[in-house]
């Protein structure tokens, strides 16, 4: 069931629901602008060879986020 | 009677952005998310062969071209593709400062018909700055292939601005886009965008700031939008407000004494 975690911990191929963004200022703004607002479904598309960055499908666009960004997004599994 | 601050204001700022300061050649800006086909629209409208490519920062140096419609010459400025006008990358600053300080006669926001949801964020931010906006729903050919139906009229009603469906690659919808944009420029068409309403606390703060901003800058910049940025703690905007408005005042003063 719904475990609360951050986006960087979601395994490749699975989906999660955004619950919040634990950042402020510009980083927060940036993540929100990319579409990571509470209630957004995100799919983990692939992980780069070294594990960072990770590509996510966010509202119809594939966007790669670094660990320092994806770890700020709290999600629950769906 | 020399030139007043009012009469030189926007023109001098435009020079700072390298756009001709001429009254009879209106300026139209093209804004939009990355990969929505802005540069394709730009090329189709201007007949230029500006390079199109798919990598970040391709259009950081804004490109401009001209076109003639119904006997009138227009300047078209291709802004860098951005998801937002609020964060802090160079691209976003270029796009934001241009719309905000150079005050184009019209701004076309190009959005990707296949993922409207993510594109409308930028459209909403642009209509917070200016009401002279036309929404260009591009890549309609892609949308049809994905069997998406887009209610252009509904979208136009919801946003309060004209919306045109296009497929720039095959020039579909471009004559209509030109027609409508030029009507916005000549004020035959005055879009009335639905402003985003915030929580009562924020609205209250805005209403306290707005009159003071208006007193400082007059109508040269949208006071509600500046109020929002101040509440956001946007230091960058404050810096640029100083830069551009200072420049205008110096120039106006110089001309007044010339």
Residue B116 inside a domain? The answer is yes
B88-133 residue pLDDT tens: 677 788 888 888 888 899 999 999 999 898 899 999 999 999 999 9
Q: Please name which of B116, B104, B122, B182 lies closest in space to residue B154, comparing C-alpha atoms.
A: B116
pLDDT at site B20? 58
Q: At which of B157, B185, B213 does a domain end?
A: B185
Q: Is the pLDDT of residue B254 over 80?
A: no
pLDDT at site A59? 87
User: Domain total for chain A?
Assistant: 1
CATH number reported for the structural domain that contains residue B17 in this entry: 3.40.50.300
β-pairing verdict for A41-47 and A15-21: antiparallel
C-alpha angle with apex B70: B66 to B75, nearest 5 degrees? 20
pLDDT at site B47? 81
Alpha carbon of A75: minimum distance to chain B alpha carbons (Å): 19
Alpha carbon of B173: minimum distance to chain A alpha carbons (Å): 24
Q: At which of B185, B217, B239 does a domain end?
A: B185
Chain B residues close to A25, C-beta within 8 Å: 233
Write down the pTM of the prediction.
0.82
Q: Is the pLDDT of residue B253 over 70?
A: no
Query: Are the C-beta atoms of residues A37 and A71 closer than 8 Å to each other?
Result: no
Average pLDDT for chain B: 83
Q: Assess whether B98 and B212 both reside in one domain.
A: no
pLDDT at site B118? 86
Chain B residues close to A33, C-beta within 8 Å: 83-84, 86-87, 121
d(CA B180, CA A23): 41
Q: Which residue of B has its CA nearest to A30?
A: B87
Higher-confidence residue of B218 and B203: namely: B203
In this prediction, residue B255 has a pLDDT band, given cuts at 50, 70 and 90, of low
Q: Token pair of B217, please?
A: 């800058």
Q: Assess whether B166 and B205 both reside in one domain.
A: no
Q: Please name which of B224, B237, B220 lies closest in space to residue B5, comparing C-alpha atoms.
A: B220
Q: Is the pLDDT of residue B37 over 80?
A: yes
User: Domain total for chain B?
Assistant: 2
CATH number reported for the structural domain that contains residue A15 in this entry: 2.30.30.90
HEC string of chain A?
CCCEEEHHHCCCCCEEEEEEECCCHHHHHHHHHCCCCCCCEEEEEEECCCCCCEEEEECCEEEEECHHHHCCEEEEEC
pLDDT at site B80? 86
How far, rounded to the nearest angstrom, does the alpha carbon of residue B232 sit from its chain's CA centroid? 21
Q: Assess whether B59 and B141 both reside in one domain.
A: yes
Chain B residues close to A63, C-beta within 8 Å: none
**Whether the predicted interface score ipTM is above 0.90:** no
pLDDT at site B92? 83
B44-102 residue pLDDT tens: 988 866 655 545 544 555 578 888 888 889 989 888 888 888 866 777 888 888 888 88
d(CA B197, CA B218): 23
Q: Is the pLDDT of residue B197 over 50?
A: yes
Nearest CB to B115 within list A25, A29, A60: A60
Q: Assess whether B180 and B205 both reside in one domain.
A: no
Q: Token pair of B26, please?
A: 């209106």
Q: Is the pLDDT of residue B11 over 80?
A: no
pLDDT at site B13? 59
Chain B residues close to A58, C-beta within 8 Å: 118
Chain B residues close to A61, C-beta within 8 Å: 115, 118
Q: Assess whether B129 and B236 both reside in one domain.
A: no
Q: Assess whether B163 and B66 both reside in one domain.
A: yes
Block means of pLDDT (10 residues each) for chain A, 78 residues, are 78 93 86 90 92 90 91 92
Q: Please name which of B36, B136, B209 lies closest in space to residue A60, comparing C-alpha atoms.
A: B36
pLDDT at site B241? 83
Residue A68: partners with Cβ closer than 8 Å, 6 or more residues away: none
Helix (H, G, I), strand (E, B) or coil at B74: strand
Nearest CB to B118 within list A25, A30, A60: A60
Q: Token pair of B98, please?
A: 């241009």
Choice among B52-61, B160-169, B203-212 with the minimum mean pLDDT: B52-61
Residue B151 inside a domain? The answer is yes
CB-count exposure of residue B5 (10 Å: 0-12, 13-18, 19+): middle
Nearest CB to A60 within list B83, B88, B114: B114
- Residues β-bridged to residue B109: B31, B135
Domain that holds residue B139: 5-185
d(CA A34, CA B2): 48
Q: Assess whether B126 and B176 both reside in one domain.
A: yes
Q: At which of B162, B185, B208 does a domain end?
A: B185
Domain that holds residue A51: 4-77
Query: Are the C-beta atoms of residues B158 and B194 closer than 8 Å to each other?
Result: yes
Q: Assess whether B43 and B74 both reside in one domain.
A: yes
Query: Are the C-beta atoms of residues B5 and B252 closer than 8 Å to each other?
Result: yes
pLDDT at site B208? 94
Residue B190 inside a domain? The answer is no
Alpha carbon of B234: minimum distance to chain A alpha carbons (Å): 9
């Amino acid at each position: 069931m719904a475990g609360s975690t951050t986006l960087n911990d979601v395994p490749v191929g699975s989906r999660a629901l955004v619950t919040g963004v634990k950042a402020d200022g510009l980083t927060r703004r940036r993540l929100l602008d990319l579409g990571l607002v509470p209630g957004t479904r995100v799919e983990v598309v692939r992980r780069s060879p070294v594990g960072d960055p990770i590509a996510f499908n966010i509202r119809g666009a594939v966007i790669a986020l670094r660990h320092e960004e994806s770890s700020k997004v709290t999600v629950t599994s769906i | 009677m020399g030139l007043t601050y009012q009469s030189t204001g926007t023109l001098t700022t435009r020079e700072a952005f390298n756009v001709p300061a001429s009254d009879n050649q209106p300026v139209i800006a093209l804004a939009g998310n990355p990969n929505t086909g802005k540069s394709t629209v730009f090329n189709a409208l201007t007949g230029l062969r500006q390079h199109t490519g798919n990598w970040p920062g391709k259009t950081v140096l804004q490109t401009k071209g001209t076109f003639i419609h119904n006997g009138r010459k227009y300047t078209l400025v291709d802004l860098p593709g951005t998801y937002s006008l609020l964060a802090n990358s160079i691209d976003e600053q270029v796009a934001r400062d241009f719309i905000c300080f150079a005050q184009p006669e019209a701004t076309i926001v190009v959005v990707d018909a296949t993922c409207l949801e993510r594109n409308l964020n930028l459209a909403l931010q642009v209509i917070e700055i200016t009401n002279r906006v036309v929404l260009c729903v591009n890549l309609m050919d892609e949308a049809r292939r994905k069997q998406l139906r887009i209610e252009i009229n509904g979208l136009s009603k919801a946003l309060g601005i004209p919306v045109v469906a296009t497929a720039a690659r095959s020039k579909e919808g471009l004559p209509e886009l030109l027609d409508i944009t030029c009507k916005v420029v000549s004020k035959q068409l005055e879009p009335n965008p639905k402003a985003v309403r915030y929580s009562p606390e924020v609205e209250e703060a805005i209403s306290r700031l707005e009159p003071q901003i208006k007193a400082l800058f007059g109508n040269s910049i949208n006071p509600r939008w500046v109020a929002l940025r101040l509440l956001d703690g946007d230091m960058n905007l404050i810096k640029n407000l100083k830069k551009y408005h200072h420049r205008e005042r110096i120039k106006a003063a110089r001309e007044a004494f010339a």
